[in-house]
Structure 1
Amino acid sequence: MSKRIQFSQHGGAEVLEWVDRPEPEPGMGEVRVRNHAIGLNFIDTYYRSGLYPPPALPSGLGNEGAGVVEAVGAGVEDFQPGDRVAYGTGPLGAYAEQHVLPAANLVRLPQAISFEQAAAVMLKGMTAQYLLRQIHPLQAGETVLFHAAAGGVGSIACQWARALGARLIGVVGSAEKAEQARALGAWQTIDRSREDVVQRVMELTDGQKCPVVYDSVGKDTWDTSLDCVAKRGLLVSYGNASGPVTGVNLGILAQKGSLFVTRPILAGYADTPERLRAMAAELFEMIENGHISVEIGQRFALADAAQAQEALTSRQTTGSTILLP
């Protein structure tokens, strides 16, 4: 038997169940991984709440983890038992002692990177990769705005932007998180609990605003983010921490300066094994070269996943949070 977290109905963290199940067997093209560490992400709460419907109920949860290959299914040639691997694009079910997933979704884990580091960084780090390196390749000297700069993705983005020579203005929710973001490489920070974000952006950019704004908060910051984008600039809305953005009037984009908006997800960029592995390779290189330090702010037992999610949604966490089987 094997343990996992699952949910049989949508709701708050209280719907998560710690259950036994038969040991899963890999099918054609699949691999069974014994998880050593599992990543916690906001997207997990979207599936739990029903914002993103899972394929069926009851459902497993989680897209990110790292461990050792235990068994391979027919047709798998790239991996064998004993390989150190990591993953960040699902399928759902990472909140488990063992996870079966397509071999195409796995990457080899360099010896220099621990299972905990990989579980903390795969989804968030590859998200930072496509945000800063693909959607709008950051250039040295550019000034950009990044919401939740002390969070999982933000803590990586601060470091990556600094390595690229870009000036990242990090929006945070407290003085403590502002200090953390600056220590990680943010050029300047804005404490939204006591400062007017738009006013501070205008001051910091001499009225020019930012060519790119990265927003994972969603509904609560949509209007603010639009007001921080420079003429013909880009708003990257890549998350819904406060709820989804709805009722968008495209005419607002014209009024505010012929703006561009995109709503990307990781699966839209890491959509082939080749692209996935290239993104992971660049991320791992940044870690190995010392440009990115993986900030694990919290560790919870896998059985305490509900408690971990409550800490995440109440914004009590900093950096990445991992679950340990």
Structure 2
Amino acid sequence: MSIPHADLAAFVTVAEHLSFHRAAIARNVTRSAISHAIRRLEAQLGVRLLNRNTRGVSLTEAGRQLSTRLQQAFADIDQAVDDVNHFRDTPHGSIRITVPRAVGLTLVAPIVATLTRRNPGLSVEVSSNDGLVDIVQAGFDAGIRFGESLQQDMIAMKINFPLHFAVVGSPEYLAGVPVPQVPADLAAHSCIRYRFPSGVSFPWEFRKDGTTVQIEVHGPILLDDQELMIETALAGAGLAFVFAERVQAHLDSGRLVRCLADWTPQFSNLYLYYPDRTFVPAGLRALADLLRHPRAADLSIGVAVTATEVEA
């Protein structure tokens, strides 16, 4: 049986006030509208809910039972709405984000730790995936990606956290070959190459004194994971082009040696992106706010722009 909720709400109000007049005032409608709603409800149920006489209104036994159940039901509805308000007003519930694997290790881990520590009611699910992800179809609230790979209908906020690339090799590998002095010297080296999930190989780009050089390197090993590239370089297989932040401990210990340090560029093309600016969950706002304030984790974030503006 489908009964209009407005008629049920009108009945609950009359039951509370035991007056059609006061119920009409409470609901900001006419007394006639309240009377029609009660008649429709009783007709649909086939049961008298209210006794009316010149002295006033009283509940029948059926009306008293229905009123009690409906008051509880409407209270549950009010609580459900209040629970949803938590998502708007305070970080609560859960958010799902997708990030490139290497960026997740370097950037996201400390951010997520701080975010959940500051907001005990929030849980965060992170999916590390180097492929292009349709966050709407996959059910993510947001993602972190490089600017050139953003979808055009996304809202994007630049993360001004510079990442630095480094060309590294093991002492064992470099002992048998000349150490490269300029990017062109890489032609004589075995390079551990990176391939995107799309199948495209990642070119090695260098910058010095305003000059940018892009090198297509060669080597027998092609991988799709920076951590695996680092392990392969540690094993002496060749030179790898990876985030310097991921290999700093190996450089400090001497297990890896950095090459072309004066040529390797700073990289700052990361964006937090999400589908819509309207009704952004509080948890996602907290994530953006954390990225926006440098003191939170030595990070800063730029002004929100559309993905179309990213490429402009």
Q: Structures share a fold, TM > 0.5?
A: no
Please give the TM-score of this superposition, normalised by the length of structure 1: 0.28
Larger C-alpha radius of gyration, 1 or 2? 2
- After TM superposition, the score normalised by the length of structure 2 is 0.28
